[in-house]
Amino acid sequence: MNLNLLSWIIFLPVIGLVVIALLPKPGQKTVRWIALMAALASFIVSLAVFFMFDKSLPGQMQFVEKVSWIPAINSFYSLGVDGLSLPLVMLMTFLGVVSVLISWKIDLRPKEYFIWLLMLESSILGVFMSLDLVLFFLFWEVELIPMFFLITIWGSGRKEYAAYKYLIYTLTGSAFMLAGILCTYFITNTMDITALAGMQFGTTFIPLQFLFFLLMIGFCIKLPVFPFHTWLPDAHTNAPTAASVILAGALLKMGGYGMIRVCVSMLPQVAVQYAPIMCVLAVIGIIYGAGVTMRQTDLKRLIAYSSVSHMGYVLLGIFALNQVALSGAALQMFSHGLITGLLFAMVGTVYDRTHTREINTLRGLARQLPVITVVFSVAGLASLGLPGTVGFVAEFIVFNGTFTSLVPFAQVYALIGVLGIVLTSGYILWMLQRVFYEYPLERYDHLKDADLVEKIAIFSFVAVIMLFGICPAIITDIINTGIMPIAKLIGL
Amino acid sequence: MPTQVPWLIFLLPFISFLLCGLVLRPFLPKFPKLAGYVTIAAVGISCALSFWVLGAVIAAPNHMLMVDDITWAVVGDLEMHVGVLVDALTAVMVVVVTCISLVVQIYSQGYMEGDTGYTRYYAFMSLFTACMLGLVLANNILFMFVFWEGVGLGSYLLIGFWFHKPSAADAAKKAFIVTRFGDLGFLAAILILFANTGTFDTEALYKLVATGALAGSTLTWVAIGIFAGACGKSAQFPLHVWLPDAMEGPTPVSALIHAATMVAAGVFLVARFYPIFSHSPEALLVVAVIGAFTAIFAASIGLVMNDIKRVLAYSTISQLGYMMLGLGVGGVAIGIFHLSTHAFFKALLFLGAGSVNHSTGTFDMRLMGGLRKAMPWTYITFVIGALSLAGIWPLAGFWSKDEILIAAFANNQALFTLAIITVFMTAFYMFRAVFMTFHGEYRGGAPSEHGGHDEHSHGLHESPAVMVVPLVILALGAIGGGWVNVTGFFGSLFGHGEAVAREISLVEGFFGPLTHPLPLISLLVALAGIFLAYAMYIKKWVSAERITQSVKPIHTLLYRKYFMDEFYEGFIVKTLLYNWLFKLFAMFDDSVVDGTVNGTAAGAAGAGSALRKLQNGQTQLYAFTIAIGVVAIAVVVLLFS
């Protein structure tokens, strides 16, 4: 029995956006309820997939749908999930729901806003479920359009600059990726991602190393890997809250996901060869990112830079190239999506009330905004890897995997990574102190704490962060089934 | 004993935390007292269960009970379990933790009365107690780390309890970050251990060490790493700087967390992995040396502090150094014995300081004096605590300190010398505090305007019964806590590798020490310290001011705590990292990394606008260019063909 559940997950938001688009002059309330229903429907279907997922089939794509699409280049409309992609799909559908909730008060052109938001969700979901390189690339590119408009229209500050920078920077990476996909096709005559995994390449017209980096560069920009990260603080800072949440929460993970799914699975030997370089870039990202974070005075920019540091753990886990480290990377993507998603949502709640993100102009908000303070603190503590939150589990697994990795000097990288968590506690706790503690300011006395809709959104984040922190097996058992076969391909 | 009992000991305070945080605080804000009752009930039952566990352990063969194990998560070869280990060490620790916690929770009802954060206070206290119990019960190093961080969180939240005070917010952050620095070592040790043994399990590690499968430099590095973590939490030099600042928290918090339990967690950690340490003489030497040095170093600062809580804080650091020394030269029993007695008399002293503050509104001893008349109970119990800390026979501190001194004398004369000097200093600063606080004339208490929250001043008065009774209970512990080892019972409980195996009669044990030279020397040294304080602060035979003036540079050095705060915060953090390295990073990011990106874009745009001039849409220009081209071609063709 095939219910095409995966297609439903992708296209339920599309149905929602089509309905919104066809309504002649819908009010703000109608639009947001339709958006919420669409996102919620997609989330519920993904939950169904989560519960029906068979953990006893490692390495097997499940819920597969395959329809011939462009026979001329042997391309299929082909979807499927395994233990690597399922957590990310869940993450995106969850963020889809909460991002509608935190956009509840959007009154500037709400119709278009929710159309773009739903389109963003669909395209990212498509990336995580595509099993065909052309389809993958299509979704990868479609995502740019809604994000561009979300930043330029609903953003703040230097929003046009940020949007163009984001668009052009990412497109540059995509151009290389497209070249890589074409080369792959001409070498292997297939676009099937599962078939490409572990394929034996004979003699090829370009060196495989070259192919690896053609594909890799787009992912490196997306993740982002030092030194390709400077689009991120600009885009984040100027994007509207929900876009930041999705950007940090799910969009960056397209990079890490692509690296594992395409680069490492397809060309494991090249990955082994270049692992030392990537690990060095990872630890630079961790320490350097944390250092730059420490200097930020804009609350949102601070969180944005912390992502650079935290994505270093993902990169480190991926290129430590053993099963534990790769699983850690997969979990770190999931965990960072939740934690940083929440952090951006919280920055949004503070900004909505105080109309400033300059840390120096904020102080002592704990008395005026107790609920926001508590949730912001929980997010911060999760971000610095406190046990009891999913952040600790992910980071510990990455460290453990890296420390036992056979990549040269892996132990050193692991220990530098551990040093990173001290820096993280430094900037997180300092930020919390400056924004929420010490004497309150009179000018913020009239502020109102989180309302019901906001509470639903942020409390569900907290619940999920704690749930996976206390019972990580729920998610690690699934990740294992996805990572084990990939780790076997690498054979380290 | 049912296997659920140890789990319940941990779970009850945890449930109390959830109840206070998720039910009482949001839904019943009108009844703050409930939080106190819930917490006291939970900790009280835990305490009773702890005694049950202790009894069962004493009765059990090898003093070891069952181990429960639940699989937590498995990723490849990485198998993580959660479970309980109950042996003598665990049993003693749960009893100490729950007893002190219970007494402190009762006392807090009086001390925190009327505070707007009353429910939050009890929620955090429950959370802390749960994590502390989790730490001592855990059967593997990974979950010890989990709860280790948990108690760090509790400490952070409670130091910063009055978060509107900048000093409290600063202190909380400092405590968390400094201890996390030590945790680097702990985490590294866990990684090394797992990479070499493939297990986190405490008992499995014991076996691997015993069979020699885990040995050599790996073992030493693991031990050093664990000790680094212990140094952070137990405030050993050079990571001790956070503890004095932690006194910004409410005083009962200082008593429970920063005197009796959490700061002793480092000592517990070393004791828990003692088999690893005992197989590495280098590591043991490091423990002993750092311990002895910290003991004398912190005691020297304690000599000159004017804030009663700071005196106690430095005293705590110093005593923790003693415990480390005890572990380094003696063994688990000796270190844990001092940990247990110290928990009672130091908690007593802190709660006494809180009681004094309750009445005078200040912690500055220069503003106190003469309190013994107004606060007789506080005075008597405080003196008992001070005598116990100074190591006066037959109070608790005497017995445990004596064990450490004997072991140090037998092992390392140099460290013994440091320890005996510390005995003198300890006796001096404690009685300096007693005399400045309780004797002489009252010097007025807190000035009328005070920014903080930790004070309730309305004339001198004894504290309410809810605060005094806990003092009396702890005083009983501070008197008799040491007697459990008079017959060598405590030592024999810790069977493995202890020198104290000989069981002796009660009378011989009780008076025996007075016939040996070493205990007598330490007793005389302590009495000399008390006498000097008496001479300086009661009789004023020697002027404290004159001494201060004559050794001004040394006094300044001590008073400024050897300038370590300035070095860490001013030099390393502010100058070196924030204003130099990280600034460099940020500038590099802006100008080089992002500059390249924007430069590339500007280059492309520039090239575009240069080339655009050629496409300006004037047909005349195009025609003219074409004409020139045609002519040029014609010329070339004509000339060269």
Residue type, B323: M
What is the arithmetic mean of pLDDT over A382-397?
A: 94
Q: Mark yes or no for CB contact A437/B188 under 8 Å.
A: no
Q: From chain B, pick out residues whose CB is under 8 angstroms from the CB of A231.
A: 597
Q: How far apart are CA B117 and CA B122, in angstroms?
A: 9
Encoded tokens for A127: 């990336």
CB distance A81 to A49 below 8 Å: yes
A486 pLDDT higher than 70: yes
Chain B residues with CB-CB distance to A391 below 8 A: none
A411 vs B contacts (CB less than 8 Å): 191, 195
Burial class of B538 by CB neighbour count within 10 A (0 to 12, 13 to 18, 19+) = middle
DSSP string, B347-362: HHHHHHHHHHHHHHS-
Both tokens assigned to B627:
């004409």
Look up residue B86 and give its amino acid: V
Q: What is residue A203's predicted lDDT score, i.e. its pLDDT?
A: 75
Domain assignment present for residue A310? The answer is yes
Distance (Å, whole) CA B367 – CA B452: 16
Cβ partners under 8 Å of residue B518, min gap 6 = B402, B405, B406, B409
B222 to chain A nearest CA, in Å?
14
pLDDT value, residue B457: 44
Q: Do the Cβ atoms of B76 and A433 come within 8 Å?
A: no
B407: Cα separation from own chain's centroid: 25
Q: A7 in a domain, yes or no? A: no
- Three-state SS for B497? coil
The whole-number pLDDT of residue B499 equals 45
- Subunit contact B169:A426, Cβ cutoff 8 A: no
Residue A414 lies in a domain: yes
Complex ipTM, two decimals? 0.92
Contacts of A364 in chain B (CB under 8 A): 164
What is the dihedral sign for C-alpha A323, A326, A330, A331?
positive
Q: First and final CA of chain B: distance in angstroms?
A: 114
Q: Which residue in the set B176, B578, B597 is minimally distant from A230, CB to CB?
A: B597
- Asked if residues A284 and A384 have their Cβ atoms less than 8 Å apart, the reply is no
Q: Which two tokens stand for residue A446?
A: 């009239």
DSSP B364: B
Question: Mean pLDDT, 10 residues at a time, over chain B (641 residues)?
Answer: 87 94 87 90 94 88 79 89 90 93 92 89 94 93 94 94 91 92 93 91 89 86 94 92 91 91 92 91 92 93 90 93 91 89 92 89 85 88 92 88 89 90 93 89 67 50 88 90 79 60 67 80 91 86 81 84 84 85 88 87 89 82 90 91 72
Sign of CA dihedral A240, A244, A247, A250: negative
Instruction: Please report residues of B whose CB lies closer than 8 A to that of A430.
Output: 173
Q: Do A400 and B191 touch (CB under 8 A)?
A: yes
The Cα angle at residue B371 between residues B367 and B377, in degrees rounded to 5: 140
Nearest chain A alpha carbon to B199: A400
Interface test with B, best of A306, A416, A433 (most B CBs within 10 A): A433
Assess if residue A398 is contained within a domain.
yes
**Which residues in chain A touch residue B71, judged by CB atoms under 8 angstroms apart?**
473
Closest by Cβ to B163, choosing from A292, A381, A437: A437
- Residue in B with minimal Cα distance to A367: B164
Q: Is residue A38 part of a domain?
A: no
| Cα separation, A268 vs A200, whole angstroms | 11
Other Cβ atoms closer than 10 A to B455: 16
The token pair that represents B70 in the structure block:
């639940």
CB contacts of A168 in chain B (<8 Å) are: 601
A156 membership: H or E segment, kind and range: none
Contacts of A487 in chain B (CB under 8 A): 76
> Is the CB of A473 less than 8 angstroms away from the CB of B163?
no
Residue of A379, A226, A332, A382 whose CA lies nearest to A289: A226
Q: Alpha-carbon distance B196 to B214, whole Å?
A: 8
Distance between CA atoms of residues B292 and B323, nearest Å: 9
pLDDT of residue B553: 84
Residues in chain A closer than 8 A to B146 (CB atoms) = 387-388, 392
pLDDT at B451: 42
Asked if A379 and A346 touch (Cβ cutoff 8 Å), the reply is yes
Chain B residue with Cα closest to A231? B594
Distance from CA of B382 to the nearest CA of A (A): 33
Q: Residue A11 — pLDDT band, cuts 50, 70, 90? A: very high
Q: How far is B148 from chain A (nearest CA, A)?
A: 9
A324 with B160: Cβ contact below 8 A: no
Looking at the 3D structure of chain A, how many domains does it have?
Answer: 1
Collapse the DSSP code of B223 into the 3-class scheme (helix H, G, I; strand E, B; otherwise coil) and give the result: helix
Supply the mean pLDDT for chain A: 93
A179: exposed, middle or buried (Cβ count in 10 Å: 0-12, 13-18, 19+): middle
Rounded to a whole number of angstroms, the distance from the CA of B13 to the nearest CA of chain A is: 16
Q: Pick from A387, A397, A430: which is nearest to B146 by CB?
A: A387
Closest CA relative to residue A270, chosen from A280, A259, A281: A259
Distance CA(B145)–CA(B138), nearest Å, equals 9
10 Å Cβ neighbour count for A423? 23
- Pick A429's closest partner by Cβ from B75, B177, B184: B177
CA triplet A31, A36, A41: central angle to 5 degrees? 130
Which residue's entry shows tokens 């440091």? B418
Listed as own residue / partner, the contacts of B380-384 with beta carbons closer than 8 Å and 24 or more positions apart are B380/B475, B381/B348, B381/B352, B381/B471, B381/B472, B381/B474, B381/B475, B382/B348, B382/B349, B382/B352, B382/B353, B382/B356, B382/B434, B382/B437, B382/B438, B383/B434, B383/B438, B384/B345, B384/B348, B384/B475, B384/B478, B384/B479
Contacts of B15 (CB under 8 A, 6+ apart): B42
- Report the pLDDT value the prediction gives residue B449, as an integer from 0 to 100: 46
Cβ atoms of residues B236 and B290 within 8 Å: yes
The helix (run of H) or strand (run of E) holding residue B227 is helix B216-233
List beta partners, residue B81: B71
A164-174 CB burial, b ≥16 within 10 A, e <16: bbbbebbebbb
3-state secondary structure A290-354: HHHHHHCCEHHHHHHHHHHHHHHHHHHHHHHCCHHHHHHHHHHHHHHHHHHHHHHHHHHHHHHHH
Among the partner-chain residues A165, A295, A476, the one whose CB lies closest to the CB of B75 is: A476
Note whether A430 and B173 are within 8 A (CB).
yes
Cross-chain Cβ contact A430/B74 below 8 Å: no
Nearest Cα of chain B lies from the Cα of A173 at a distance, in angstroms, of 13
How far apart, in whole angstroms, are the C-alpha atoms of residue B179 and residue A422? 10
| Partner residues linked to A298 by β-bridges | A358
**Which residues are A70's β-sheet partners?**
A75
Other C-beta atoms lying within 10 Å of the C-beta of residue B476? 15
DSSP A83-101: TTHHHHHHHHHHHHHHHHH
Strands A62-70 and B78-87: unpaired
Q: Taking CB atoms and an 8 Å cutoff, what residues of chain A touch B169? A: 433, 437-438
Asked if the structure places residue A178 within a domain, the reply is no
Asked if the structure places residue A387 within a domain, the reply is yes
* Run of H or E residues at B260: none
How many beta-carbon pairs below 8 A join chains A and B? 141
In a domain, A101, yes or no: no
Please give the Cα distance from A392 to A146 (Å, whole number): 33
- Please give the helix or strand (H or E) that residue B86 lies within, else none: strand B78-87
β strands within B489-566, DSSP E: none
Domain extent, residue A345, equals: 267-492
Chain B residue with minimum CA distance to A470 = B72
Where does residue B565 rank: exposed (0-12), middle (13-18), buried (19+ CB within 10 A)?
middle
Beta carbons of B323 and B347 less than 8 angstroms apart: no
Please state whether beta strands B64-75 and B78-87 pair in parallel, antiparallel, or not at all (unpaired): antiparallel
Give how far B178 is from chain A: nearest CA, Å.
Answer: 9
| Residues ≥6 apart with Cβ < 8 Å to A258 | A127, A140, A215, A218, A219, A222
Q: In chain B, which residues have their Cβ closer than 8 Å to the Cβ of A374?
A: none
Per-residue model confidence as pLDDT tens digits over A299-346: 999 999 999 999 999 999 999 999 999 999 999 999 999 999 999 999
The residues near B238 (Cβ < 8 Å, ≥ 6 apart) are B231, B564
Best of B22, B75, B591 to disrupt the A interface by mutation (most A CBs within 10 Å)?
A: B75
